[in-house]
Structure 1
């Protein structure tokens, strides 16, 4: 018999699993719910085997999960599937590392990838929220870094009803479910967020399933793209023992779609699911496949982090600066300025009398938008200073995760900036991640753009989370009368230039390039 052990996330307890547990039981599975100390288990002031005096920390919660695992393992013939949601994956993983032989599978339910020596606080997606938690910890005597995070035993109050989105998307939650989530929420012991997770490595042998809630983060296709970029920390996701499912909902699927979640968990227990692939010479990753247009080679000059693809004739010529997306791991090779999409566009415009520019910038993490934006600004100024470039006729073209940088150019466009373009861009912070603060939000910046031409290439098969930012941008652009031209690729995916070499996609590229060059040459 399959036994599901369910571990809830921050501020929540066994109550969130009620409907999902009932559905799993109706399907013939046995369900045990780990009640974590202070979150539905022992009161936080009662201490526990993992705490120090009255302090509740991550070790306390690991001990809570271990107690459930051991009670199930004592009965023969049980296959344990350990499910950790959100913060709950940290005590689940810590316990599984110590009982690896007892666990048949671990399910990461819309959860991060905890690492040895790293506290759960590091997985909180909102940078400002992490800083607030650290400040509260310092005020209560907890240590946010170093040591084991034990101290005075402070608590983090649960979110108000309107603040849950700082911890994850509430997409799919009914008003009643959100009311219940708020009413039953409990303070989170600070030590559980601050104490580093300690792993021996034994848990690496346990098969894993990830359940991705696409209303709160990337889906399988986007995750494959990230793995293809070569981040060493994500390489293990392409292991044959790792499977994935998607749920089209927000961060609390046990409340928004318990039936779909229960069905997914049942199938996951069997080992089914989508597997990611590892790229090789015969099967290159999507971003390194050929550009969809057959574009002739052009002369290229490389200086520092910038490449210029030069047209015929002495100039001065207009220029288009192509800004790659990300985050891209610093170790990725080739670097983005050599990716076929960027070089393809640069060669294409050079063939039409315009300098094409590609560059590498420092967007290696979602916290790197400031240095990345500085790299782009520096590159544009160096391009404008080149005597072969007409510094009064420049366009900047953004792709994907580079989209937030466009906000700088929309907020106060210089007279020489003739056009901003963006392909399948991220235009406002994604749920639970993305740049903090208002600077890198094109949705807010577009109202300051005046009549600066904006060419927006929209992929019809875009992920829901990115598509939502594009629609938000277009709604604000319509409200303020911004000069936006939309070019649709109805059957195109994110990165269609190397994924979808169709006539429709080729026509969209020609139209987009034509629209941008018309602004430069007009």
Structure 2
């Protein structure tokens, strides 16, 4: 029989696993919700100096007491740190480690590095004996999406939460080689911003930091809920835990040798070569036309790590859109902005502003007729242009955009929230939005929230739907519907530039 050892995240404890454990036992499995010092309804109070090492030892003792032949260690949030520490000391007893909505952890990492709430970092700088738990829905939301938690459950989470011993978050994890060789399953919570499709795209992008996610010993399962699935979806979580013990789930893969990753495949429209001029971070594609012409600046998504080759302005999608615009008589422009990680949106915004100035200063460009076209995670950069639109900005376009920071991205500056920008705008520019029907759920929700906000402000938004389309479809879908969607979107943008 398989026994599951369930380890809770920060401020919580064994009580959060009550319903999941009951479901596992009903299915014939063993279930043991760990009670660690300072964490849980029956936990002893944490004495000064309680740290990660103490929790690791307590978890090892619990594993040693279990007589079942197969033991699966399950860690949520902070809980993955003692789980991995214990797995390294009893690798022969552990058949699998399950990460519940928490990323892979490297040797020497601290749990604090994964804490998105800046208030925690500030509090730790003062050297407290204990960290007080979040005291409101808004405060818990800074740790992850509370999607699926009703008022009663959230109230209990607030009421039952206990202070966290600081050293459990600040002591580095010692990850042994034996622990890194165990099979893993990642349970991804879609409403918190994670999905298998997202993991696959990170691997395909070629970022060395994410190549370990394609390790064949790792499987992935999803739940359509927030960061606390043991409370919001206990039946579903029990089901995927049972599936993980059997080695079920999907794997992500790297492109085969000689195979182009999706974002480097040819653009869906067959377009002629066009002259390109490179000026700093900007590429210009001038049309064969006399006199100053309108311009469309295409803004890529990301994050795209520094050093990735080719850079986004050489990706077929950006090149294809710019050539297409030039062929229709306007200046196409692309740029490489420095959105290398989620903290770099301010820097990317500066790069975009500089690129706009460069494009408008070119004598072949009509500086009073400019459109900005945002793709994917570049969509957050449109907020400032919607909130305070200059008179020369004739149109904001967005293709399969992310229009709000995802919950697991942590706190974000208000200036990168496009829906909120709609309420601040005076003379709003027209907005053209290319929406794909096969969008990842975590991204689609941001688009729907934006459109709901737009209705409340009477913003001029034209939505062009591609029902069968997926994120980044321009290099994976050469169907007539996909081609027509690109053509309709371009025409909608050019109509606003010409008006």
Normalising by the residue count of structure 2, what TM-score does the alignment of the two structures yield?
0.96
* Contact 1:362/1:368 (<8 A) preserved: yes
CA spacing shift, 1:434–1:168, aligned 2, 3 Å: closer
Q: Distance in 1 between matches of 2:310 and 2:321?
A: 17
Deviation at 1:282, TM superposition (A): 4.2
Could you say which residue in structure 1 is the equivalent of 2:123?
A: 136
* Contact 2:434/2:466 (<8 A) preserved: yes
Deviation at 1:98, TM superposition (A): 2.6
Single out whichever of 506-515 and 30-39 deviates more from structure 2.
30-39
Deviation at 1:162, TM superposition (A): 4.5
Q: Distance in 2 between matches of 1:416 and 1:187?
A: 53
Q: Distance in 1 between matches of 2:150 and 2:452?
A: 25
Could you say which residue in structure 2 is the equivalent of 1:294?
A: 270
* Contact 2:143/2:410 (<8 A) preserved: no
The DSSP-based 3-state class of the residue aligned with 1:363 is: coil
Q: Distance in 2 between matches of 1:423 and 1:434?
A: 24
1:358 partnered with 2:334: yes
Stretches of structure 1 that go unaligned for 5 or more consecutive residues are 48-53, 143-152
Q: Distance in 1 between matches of 2:92 and 2:209?
A: 24
Cα-to-partner distance string for 1:86-117 (whole Å, 9 max, x where unaligned):
11111111221232232211100111222222
Q: Distance in 1 between matches of 2:464 and 2:479?
A: 15
* Contact 2:387/2:428 (<8 A) preserved: no
* Contact 1:225/1:285 (<8 A) preserved: no
Could you say which residue in structure 2 is the equivalent of 1:194?
A: 170
The DSSP-based 3-state class of the residue aligned with 1:432 is: helix
Cα-to-partner distance string for 1:208-255 (whole Å, 9 max, x where unaligned):
100101011221112111111112121011111110001111111111
Written as runs of structure 1 = structure 2, the 5 A alignment for 1:234-313 is 234-313=210-289
Could you say which residue in structure 2 is the equivalent of 1:332?
A: 308
Could you say which residue in structure 2 is the equivalent of 1:230?
A: 206
1:18 partnered with 2:18: yes
Deviation at 1:435, TM superposition (A): 5.8
1:369 partnered with 2:345: yes
Deviation at 1:183, TM superposition (A): 2.1
Cα-to-partner distance string for 1:311-338 (whole Å, 9 max, x where unaligned):
1135422111100001111132211111
* Contact 2:12/2:161 (<8 A) preserved: yes
Could you say which residue in structure 1 is the equivalent of 2:50?
A: 56
Deviation at 1:429, TM superposition (A): 2.0
Cα-to-partner distance string for 1:455-494 (whole Å, 9 max, x where unaligned):
1111112122222221221122221121111111111111
Cα-to-partner distance string for 1:409-438 (whole Å, 9 max, x where unaligned):
111111111111111111122112166121
* Contact 1:426/1:466 (<8 A) preserved: yes
Could you say which residue in structure 2 is the equivalent of 1:35?
A: 35
Q: Distance in 2 between matches of 1:435 and 1:423?
A: 24
* Contact 1:367/1:435 (<8 A) preserved: no
The DSSP-based 3-state class of the residue aligned with 2:342 is: coil
Could you say which residue in structure 1 is the equivalent of 2:482?
A: 505
Deviation at 1:449, TM superposition (A): 5.0
Single out whichever of 193-202 and 488-497 deviates more from structure 2.
193-202
Could you say which residue in structure 1 is the equivalent of 2:321?
A: 345
* Contact 2:302/2:377 (<8 A) preserved: yes
CA spacing shift, 1:162–1:359, aligned 2, 3 Å: closer
Could you say which residue in structure 2 is the equivalent of 1:380?
A: 356
Q: Paired residue for 2:69, among 74, 78, 84?
A: 78
* Contact 1:19/1:254 (<8 A) preserved: yes
* Contact 2:3/2:32 (<8 A) preserved: yes
CA spacing shift, 1:435–1:315, aligned 2, 3 Å: farther
Could you say which residue in structure 2 is the equivalent of 1:68?
A: 62
Cα-to-partner distance string for 1:353-399 (whole Å, 9 max, x where unaligned):
11111111111111110000000110111111111222121111101
Normalising by the residue count of structure 1, what TM-score does the alignment of the two structures yield?
0.92
**CA RMSD of superposed structures (Å):** 1.7
Written as runs of structure 1 = structure 2, the 5 A alignment for 1:134-173 is 134-139=121-126, 141=127, 153-173=129-149
Stretches of structure 2 that go unaligned for 5 or more consecutive residues are none
* Contact 2:142/2:411 (<8 A) preserved: no
Q: Paired residue for 1:94, among 80, 85, 97?
A: 85
Written as runs of structure 1 = structure 2, the 5 A alignment for 1:84-123 is 84-123=75-114
Deviation at 1:281, TM superposition (A): 4.7
The DSSP-based 3-state class of the residue aligned with 1:111 is: coil
Could you say which residue in structure 2 is the equivalent of 1:220?
A: 196
1:178 partnered with 2:172: no
Q: Distance in 1 between matches of 2:197 and 2:248?
A: 17
* Contact 1:323/1:399 (<8 A) preserved: yes
Q: Distance in 1 between matches of 2:411 and 2:160?
A: 31
* Contact 1:366/1:435 (<8 A) preserved: no
Q: Distance in 2 between matches of 1:315 and 1:117?
A: 60
* Contact 1:346/1:358 (<8 A) preserved: yes
Q: Distance in 2 between matches of 1:514 and 1:475?
A: 25
